[in-house]
Amino acid sequence: MKILKALQKDAILTDLTSQDKDGIIRELAAPVARIAGVDFQELVGVLMERERLGSTGIGMGIAIPHGKINGIDSLIMGFGIHRKGVDFDTLDGRPACLFFLLVTSENCSGLHLQALARIARMLKNEMFKNKLLQARTPDDVIAVIQPEDEEF
């Protein structure tokens, strides 16, 4: 599964400014809702409901908020960088700086899980993670992801 098939340039935010989990989710959800053609408030509600089940902050400075919503027919991703890090209730208690937001339809569990696994695998590579942290523009982010995407 190719990340750049699901991640559009318009959904890459390299300077997130919110100071809490709710704000970060709202920032990330805005372009994704627009791209997906779904209601922003509904998408935020789905993502926040998932957070209530357990934090999607996986640790090591990473969070992967995700959810399922009707009305879309494929996987859509958002990506964001917060330069200082935000408390995201991560498993290791460290602030999250890198965020991948994933949204799929209710009946796409397989695609959803594939994407989560792929992103988690990519982010275990410290060099890859550091390059993402240094990205300043959406084009920089795409340039970092593209070689990793080619390998798969």
Active site residue 66: yes
Q: Which residues contact 4 (CB under 8 A, 6 or more apart)?
A: 142, 145, 146, 149
Contact between 79 and 101 (Cβ < 8 Å): yes
Give the span between the Cα atoms of 48 and 55, in whole angstroms: 10
**60 DSSP assignment:** T
Sorted by sequence, the CB contacts under 8 Å of residue 124 that are 6+ apart come out as: none
Q: Which of 16, 27, 51, 66 is catalytic?
A: 66
Residues known to be catalytic: 66
